[in-house]
Chains A and B, each alone.
Chain A
């Protein structure tokens, strides 16, 4: 049972922790792009596309965490079975 608890906790924490780090990293990327655009408004278009590409890379790390959380989640038995296992109705 504690195995299932561990898996469930892992599923819950996987994307949350990844999203926390992703938020910090993407914030830094956007700050750098905004400072560059404020310094040189005519470069804003190129900076925007570079920023979008950088954000997609950082986001892909969250997606790897999501994919593994999905793999773990699909291994959990349905809640009804667990309630039966615990002796409920």
Chain B
């Protein structure tokens, strides 16, 4: 096990060493962040029935997302074969992470939250790996595109609203009037409160999308700018000055993925806990 770990570390460090080269060349070439060369850029040349397959950098982000999903599926199938009562390192990692996530989710959602762990853990792992993917040389973060984060936000919105509608039926809309005393004069304010709450509900997935997109794009922009400083000299010395930013980016990627999953849990708890009158 230990020699394999050493090989992995050496491989990762070697891969990261190549990182400055590709990004610095892109910066020196005067391109913006969206024209960074990635391993999937050949998709721009592929034509299906006469039409180009990929025309937009956002579609390239989607292609990278598909690559990540394929890699995750392969890892899940191959890694899951060896689960046993005496866990290996991969199983230990998964169990520790899922245990910690379960603790946090159950503190937010109550004991009923355990049923949502597959959904929330998938969101967490997927978003975290998407954020980190951009740090590998020649790869692109799918979450650096507003399309990806917008799609995730839309998914959370649909899931939360459909759970609420399924649980409460048409009475789901009663909680939009929460906090409004329902006698006498206050009925006039009901449409206003309804609209305000509706706007708040619609803003939640938008805020999720913008938060994730802003974090990842900011980290990537700072890294490319730092590399631009390296690449602007007459002699190109590949010093990886952006590694401290990548370390900070690792932390913020983890925190933002956790925030995304936690906020989904909070919204679900808000929708599901309503009949007991508990405000979470």
A residues at B contact (CB < 8 Å): 49, 52-53, 56-57, 59-60, 63-64, 66-67, 70
A-B contact count (CB 8 A): 32
Chain A residue at smallest Cβ distance from B209: A67
Contact of B207 among A53, A59, A60, A66 (CB under 8 A): A60
Interface of B is mostly: helix
Q: Pick the 4 closest A-B CB pairs, nearest first.
A: A63-B214, A60-B211, A56-B259, A67-B214
Are the CB atoms of B213 and A67 closer together than 8 Å? Answer: yes
- Min CB–CB distance A77 → chain B (angstroms): 14
B residues at A contact (CB < 8 Å): 104, 207, 210-211, 213-215, 217-218, 255-256, 258-259, 262
Contact of B210 among A53, A56, A59, A63 (CB under 8 A): A63
- Min CB–CB distance B57 → chain A (angstroms): 13
- 17 A-B interface contacts by CB (under 8 A): A56-B255, A56-B256, A56-B259, A57-B259, A59-B215, A60-B207, A60-B210, A60-B211, A63-B210, A63-B211, A63-B218, A64-B211, A64-B214, A67-B210, A67-B213, A67-B214, A70-B217
CA A88 – CA B256 in complex, angstroms? 46
- Min CB–CB distance B204 → chain A (angstroms): 12
Chain A residues within an 8 Å CB radius of B255:
52, 56
- Min CB–CB distance B151 → chain A (angstroms): 17
Chain A residues within an 8 Å CB radius of B258:
53
Chain A residues within an 8 Å CB radius of B218:
63, 66
Chain B residues within an 8 Å CB radius of A49:
104
CA A67 – CA B218 in complex, angstroms? 9
Contact of A64 among B210, B256, B262 (CB under 8 A): B210
Chain B residue at smallest Cβ distance from A70: B217
- Min CB–CB distance B193 → chain A (angstroms): 24
CA A83 – CA B158 in complex, angstroms? 49
CA A64 – CA B258 in complex, angstroms? 19
Chain A residues within an 8 Å CB radius of B207:
60, 64
CA A57 – CA B217 in complex, angstroms? 17
Chain A residues within an 8 Å CB radius of B215:
59, 63
- Min CB–CB distance A81 → chain B (angstroms): 15
Chain A residue at smallest Cβ distance from B213: A67
- Min CB–CB distance B107 → chain A (angstroms): 9
- Min CB–CB distance A73 → chain B (angstroms): 10
